[in-house]
A and B are shown apart, each in its own frame.
Chain A
């Protein structure tokens, strides 16, 4: 049992009381990371590591005192480069730090590294990274999911107990599901986006990953709260989230939306979801069949809105002020053209083109306008369901367990469908979480919980109950040669 395997709250308490040295867990994390890089199939969860963690001059107490935390590489972080998994941000070091990262440090955490991701968070497998794919620690020929695949893999591998990710259409929950960890996307506006490199601003939200529900809750509680630097961050109190894990689900109404259990669902995933529902029922929750009829519009709406916003958000990577700059350009137009052609990967280019098209004069109403209508309809589905007395919705997180590396990378449409159950929460802005509900042939499967705006506490209550009833999925086998056994 490593120090990292116990709950972060307990470990932080040991650091605060002086029983555990402040930098010791970070040192162990770096050692474990090294072990996972051995052999023919390195994990490749990190883009950058902070080997001098103990030099950080930060508060050494707080709720995360001494806890090693990994940060997705789209949150600008002092002392580290920020690449977003893209060549276009090669060598970029931000002169300022993201609010969420600042809050981590203020809580005493040690930032041990920046995690791998699909370029600009566009992808569901972490294969779209300029720094090579991350592998799934449960099965090295499988993807860890994405786009926060590096963060999910680092937590699943036991390198760090908690990590920050970001979730635009499922990018925290789907990799959490594939890697057998807990991942939560809070309500839109709960965590500041200041310093989160934008993909699709109206959908992006910083999320927390942890080995347990409680760890994820502890991390989320630290980074939540109003930030005057983000006009979309909302000024309302953060309820005690770690404490919500204790409440129990007796009397809780769990909605089961039929649209999330289609006939094409992987049968193992279906069986595990069924088992999870029985477990909730056994713990005293009331199950209720519900319908969210506009769910089928979610993927098409998402793949208009997200690329549209991305096409504008990514315009700033033009080679003029920072990041990659083509040296051979002989005019401003060529500078843009060459820097962007060389700097962006295929999927990013695809989405910029899609988004530019969707916003073009003459097409705006037919695409962007209608997508916004669909988005509003999806949001109304949720509002109605929660108004009618449903406390939390339960669905599978993804239709399948982790797929093979290379399996979908050349089939964007199939890749997009791995987010079919997760994009709705982003479109509606509601909080959602993925919690492990079992193993399918050695691969973790996650169950998704969704609640009304600002009810992260309800999500955590239900997730903690599932975790208690089903037990954790355990850890993947630690690679040989690792000194942390």
Chain B
């Protein structure tokens, strides 16, 4: 595209599931994976006479998202009915926001510094799931997902390449995760992306007929599908044809797009305000308190972590991916430990422990003070790094302080010269051939000999001192 006279014009529509744990208009659970049609009630089943009641918790999360996206929050927004027939849509309409959305006119800044305008953020309920492959010649309907709270984030067509689209999505995902709005698990459908794309002459302001690409179930799928679609449109134009408004499905296996429907015969959804739901009225105080509660957003925090702690970009990325993690990191550093060391420990052993489900960041065994104590033991040389990892696992499992575990398991580093010297002598005696080769200048064998000493010590020897003693032993007897 770089040298082409055409440029891509891309806009995104992103659906994000709000992590409230319950449905938007009734109290059923939204936990993933429940047996079909068990997380349902008269309201989300659309039974005659049942009525929706808006969950205030979902509104708070939606507002946080809109505020983080720098949107204007509307003091009055209106839920509307989007009417269409579909087997997995029990009421025959979806409750969404149309003419009067929750928020409009926001922005996100990409890593390359470009700002992408956000057109709107609105709330809506999800539909159920039609399962076409469950039974032969019949479609099964699972209504567990019906009524799940979503926000739809619609960007302006400000993106100019598939890479930018991906970057924008990564930024959105990071923001939603960091603020605890959504876990953004794409496999479970908690974040869904549709992309609109068209081409125009570089520098033109005109919007050409665009196509909408659906079924993008990963960020790399978004990037690939947009690349393929841009090529397709470029080819059509090169051949003198015109792109028509269509909805396309990305076929990840085939690496191509196919037409799902023509937009020309687009459905009339007959939107109108839902008479069952009064307009959503937001007080200035509620919005202000949510705004204040946002705190430092991930981008700012990322920059500060790099500046204040001298961290590489990668470390800052990982550590600012969620607020609890960032807070945890800072709490450990505040105990007086070296920032990069803490970063290595948090990103490595600590997160590994959390991912394995042994403990989480709020477990007493992993309290910031405890981790700091452990790192003191390492810094003092009381513990080797390897032993410290074992201790950390014990801390996570038992909740005991590191000192207790070190004593109980006898993991203290051995630093007495007498003891170390005996291991060194034993190894030198046991490996005459390697010693000779070392002395002939094959110095890389030092590592091998080091390893033998460490093994003999049961990994408890202080490696720095062993190194010194071993060199001394090898060099002294030379000649």
Question: A residues touching B (Cβ–Cβ < 8 Å)?
Answer: 74-76, 82, 84, 89, 92, 94-96, 98, 193-198, 200-202, 228-232, 308-309, 311-312, 314-316, 318, 320-322, 332, 336, 356, 359-361, 364, 368
Interface: B310 (CB within 8 A): no
- Which 7 A-B residue pairs are closest in the complex by CB-CB distance? A315-B92, A202-B275, A201-B275, A359-B270, A195-B49, A197-B48, A316-B46
Contact A308 B272 (CB under 8 A): yes
Residue in A200, A311, A318 whose Cβ sees the most chain B Cβ within 10 Å:
A318
Known: A308-B272, A318-B85, A321-B90. A229 touches B48 (CB 8 A): no
Find chain A residues with CB under 8 A from B85 CB. Answer: 315, 318, 336
Contact B48 A359 (CB under 8 A): no
Tell me the complex Cα distance, A92–B93, Å.
Answer: 21
Contact A361 B49 (CB under 8 A): no
Find chain B residues with CB under 8 A from A82 CB. Answer: 48-49
Tell me the complex Cα distance, A309–B93, Å.
Answer: 12
Which of B50-58, B185-193, B233-241, B432-440 is the interface stretch?
A: B50-58
Tell me the complex Cα distance, A321–B92, Å.
Answer: 12
Contact A359 B272 (CB under 8 A): yes
Known: A312-B83, A312-B93, A361-B268. A232 touches B49 (CB 8 A): no
Tell me the complex Cα distance, A360–B276, Å.
Answer: 20
Known: A312-B272, A318-B85, A320-B87. A231 touches B52 (CB 8 A): yes
7 A-B interface contacts by CB (under 8 A): A89-B48, A95-B42, A96-B47, A312-B83, A312-B270, A320-B90, A368-B272
Question: B residues touching A (Cβ–Cβ < 8 Å)?
Answer: 42, 45-54, 81, 83, 85, 87, 90-93, 139, 141, 268, 270-272, 275-278
Known: A332-B87, A361-B268. A312 touches B278 (CB 8 A): no
For A228, give its contact among B46, B53, B139, B141 (CB under 8 Å).
Answer: B53
Q: How far is the CB of B184 from chain A (nearest CB, A)?
A: 30
Contact A318 B48 (CB under 8 A): no
Q: How far is the CB of A330 from chain B (nearest CB, A)?
A: 11
Known: A231-B54, A231-B277, A360-B270. A197 touches B92 (CB 8 A): no
Tell me the complex Cα distance, A314–B81, Å.
Answer: 13
Tell me the complex Cα distance, A216–B92, Å.
Answer: 36
Known: A315-B83, A316-B92. A230 touches B51 (CB 8 A): yes
Tell me the complex Cα distance, A197–B50, Å.
Answer: 8
Tell me the complex Cα distance, A116–B110, Å.
Answer: 64
Contact A194 B51 (CB under 8 A): yes
Tell me the complex Cα distance, A193–B42, Å.
Answer: 14
Known: A309-B275, A356-B270. A95 touches B93 (CB 8 A): no
Find chain A residues with CB under 8 A from B92 CB. Answer: 312, 314-316, 318
In the complex formed, the residue of B with least CB distance to A372 is B273
Contact A92 B51 (CB under 8 A): no
Find chain A residues with CB under 8 A from B49 CB. Answer: 74-76, 82, 94, 98, 193-198
Contact B268 A360 (CB under 8 A): yes
In the complex formed, the residue of A with least CB distance to B268 is A361
Tell me the complex Cα distance, A202–B277, Å.
Answer: 10
Q: How far is the CB of B274 from chain A (nearest CB, A)?
A: 8
Q: How far is the CB of A479 from chain B (nearest CB, A)?
A: 34
Beyond the given pairs A74-B49, A98-B49, 20 more chain A to chain B contacts, judged by CB atoms under 8 angstroms and listed by A's residue number, are A84-B48, A89-B48, A95-B42, A95-B47, A96-B47, A193-B49, A194-B50, A229-B51, A229-B53, A231-B51, A312-B272, A315-B91, A316-B91, A316-B92, A321-B45, A332-B139, A359-B83, A359-B270, A359-B271, A364-B272
Contact B278 A231 (CB under 8 A): yes
Tell me the complex Cα distance, A193–B53, Å.
Answer: 12
Contact B268 A76 (CB under 8 A): no
